[in-house]
Amino acid sequence: MGSSILLVSFTLMVMLSISYEPLKWMGVNASDIPETCYHHCNQTFESSRQCFKWCQELARKDEYKIYGYPYSTNTRRVLAVLHEKGLSYNPITVNLIAGDQKKPSFLAINPFGQVPVFLDGGLKLTESRAISEYLATVHKSRGTQLLNYKSYKTMGTQRMWMAIESFEFDPLTSTLTWEQSIKPMYGLKTDYKVVNETEAKLEKVLDIYEERLKNSSFLASNSFTMADLYHLPNIQYLMDTHTKRMFENRPSVRRWVAEITARPAWKRACDVKAWYHKKKN
């Protein structure tokens, strides 16, 4: 009888300690738990410990590492997503001007010799758009909702504009950025014949954008999404070149450009000093 009473008392004490300090009992630091985890994990008591530990690991975002260069358009694309989601990261500089991307040490990380390279624990990803979609999916409930997949129609529209950016907009604007902004960094001369030919092709693309943006605040919907974000790196550089006039001569495009380039997350993505100040490796 006495042993039964002791067992019941011990059980009650354990239950009380769990109820008052559930996270401590689970071996989890409460300060590491994102607020959004509490409701989800508390609804799954049978696996609460595993759930909270998973959330804790997810919250340790300094484990994210990004090999890149702060002037790189593709690096900035990923940085924009990280900042839109409020995620921290460990930047590791690959100096493209110095040729770091061609060194064996970096080629061992990415044989294609391109930045960015993104590390999430044992997962390694290359290609800025793949990294961006990975982050937006993993952290879909956090920060800006960059992937608007509420229905098949919204998904289709967004995927369409993401593809248009990749296949219609990016090839032209990347050429213009290279000729007018990047070449001077390397001490190379701009080929204005290439600039003029490329601008003529971009005129047609921007005419289509103008018509779309007359009836929509942003490309895929009336809210900012990944389809808009993907355009930012090249647009930012082109705003400091003669090509700027092509965006400003179209009222709806001009309004859209002003709005997306003013986003706080994008300004942080372009902050070169912050990249080097944050650098740990």
Average pLDDT by consecutive 10-residue portion of the chain (281 residues)?
A: 52 44 45 48 57 57 86 99 97 97 98 98 97 97 94 96 99 99 96 99 99 98 98 99 99 99 98 84 40
Cis peptide before 70 (omega within 30 of 0): no
Q: What is the pLDDT of residue 26?
A: 44
Give the pLDDT of residue 278. 74
- Which CA distances in Å does 232 have to 37, 190, 194? 32, 22, 22
What's residue 279's pLDDT? 53
Task: Quote the pLDDT of residue 12.
Answer: 46
Q: How far apart, in Å, are the Cα atoms of 197 and each of 35, 168, 184, 238, 267?
A: 52, 15, 19, 16, 31
Question: Which residue's structure tokens are 């219609």?
Answer: 168
Write down the pLDDT at residue 264. 98
Q: CA-to-CA distance for 70 and 157, rounded, in angstroms?
A: 31
Beta bridge partners of 65: 90, 119
Query: Domains, the chain, ranges and CATH?
Result: 2-59 (no CATH), 61-143+270-278 (3.40.30.10), 152-268 (1.20.1050.10)
**Alpha-carbon separation of residue 128 from 80, 94, 225, 258, 268 (angstroms):** 11, 15, 16, 23, 17
pTM: 0.79
- Residue 266, judged by CB atoms within 10 A of its CB (0-12, 13-18, 19+), counts as buried
